């Protein structure tokens, strides 16, 4: 078996290793593919569909699709970015994302993707759902208004922390993230040091008493678009 696999992304020939996904090989070659549910170190989920690319003309999630010799991948095109804008628009209007008041602003991957793709306001009507906030835990709170159902907290708690704190319940528009307790988050053994807390890409899981420790204007995506670290060849853990 060859040690490398040659394929094409956006008319650029690149190389990857056997077993790599399109997203991994692209990132290795300094090509950013937008993503939300993907996080390095977690089992790929393929649920957010932001990383969808065309592979030989057919849509595939880049975080789960293995590379193959000669495949032709379309990623940074108007068609694919248009589809991504539609998905991100829907994520905004299906929740209650008040960026101007959110402690995650500037570090939020959803917000940063919207800016990168040129979204200043969603084109769909807001749904304004009624969602609860669980602030019962002494160190952590859940704001379900901001949850985008990416599943990163579910996988991190299960596979990294070994605690199974979070899980999906319900289906369709009633799907939500719940905790493994009779009542609320205070009845679980979640800790501030758990990977599940760090894994949230938005402001749905936040630590108490550390808000605005890094001022707005000095945050991860305040000066450079999301993905800039990958495109420059240096990807810190905080951008995964």
pLDDT value of position 180: 95
Cα gap 61→152, rounded to integer Å:
16
Q: In whole angstroms, how far apart are CA 216 and each of 44, 57, 74, 102?
A: 31, 41, 35, 11
Q: Which CATH number fits domain 82-210: 2.30.110.10, 3.30.70.20, 3.40.50.970, 3.50.50.60?
A: 3.30.70.20
pTM for the full model? 0.94
| 190 and 197 Cβ atoms separated by less than 8 Å | yes
* pLDDT tens profile 133-174: 999 999 999 999 999 999 999 999 999 999 999 999 999 889
pLDDT of residue 237: 46
Output the pLDDT for position 41: 95
Q: What is the pLDDT of residue 32?
A: 98
Q: Can you give the pLDDT at residue 238?
A: 41
5-76: CATH number: 3.10.20.740
Measured distance CA(71)–CA(69) in Å, rounded: 6
Q: In which residue ranges of the chain is pLDDT below 50?
A: 236-240
- pLDDT reported for residue 239: 41
What integer pLDDT is reported at residue 233 of this predicted model? 81
Domain boundaries, the chain: 5-76, 82-210
């Amino acid at each position: 078996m060859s040690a490398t696999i040659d394929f094409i992304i956006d008319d650029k020939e690149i190389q990857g290793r056997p077993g790599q996904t399109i997203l991994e090989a692209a990132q290795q070659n300094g090509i950013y593919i937008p993503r939300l549910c993907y996080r390095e170190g977690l089992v790929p989920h393929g649920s957010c569909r932001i990383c969808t690319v065309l592979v030989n003309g057919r849509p595939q999630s880049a975080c789960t699709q293995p590379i193959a010799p000669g495949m032709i991948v379309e990623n940074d095109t108007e068609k694919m970015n248009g589809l991504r804008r539609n998905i991100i628009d829907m994520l905004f209007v299906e929740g209650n994302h008040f960026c101007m008041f959110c402690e995650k602003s500037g570090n939020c991957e959803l917000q940063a993707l919207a800016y990168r793709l040129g979204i200043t306001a969603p084109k769909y009507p807001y749904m304004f759902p009624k969602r609860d906030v669980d602030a019962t835990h002494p160190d952590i709170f859940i704001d379900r208004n901001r949850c985008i159902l990416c599943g990163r907290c579910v996988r991190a708690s299960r596979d990294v922390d070994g605690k199974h704190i979070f899980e999906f319940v319900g289906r369709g528009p009633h799907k939500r993230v719940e905790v493994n307790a009779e009542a609320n988050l205070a009845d679980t053994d979640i800790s501030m040091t758990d990977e599940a807390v760090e894994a949230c890409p938005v402001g749905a899981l936040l630590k108490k008493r550390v808000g605005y420790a890094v001022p707005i204007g000095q945050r991860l995506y305040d000066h450079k678009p999301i993905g800039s670290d990958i495109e420059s060849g240096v990807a810190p853990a905080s951008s995964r």
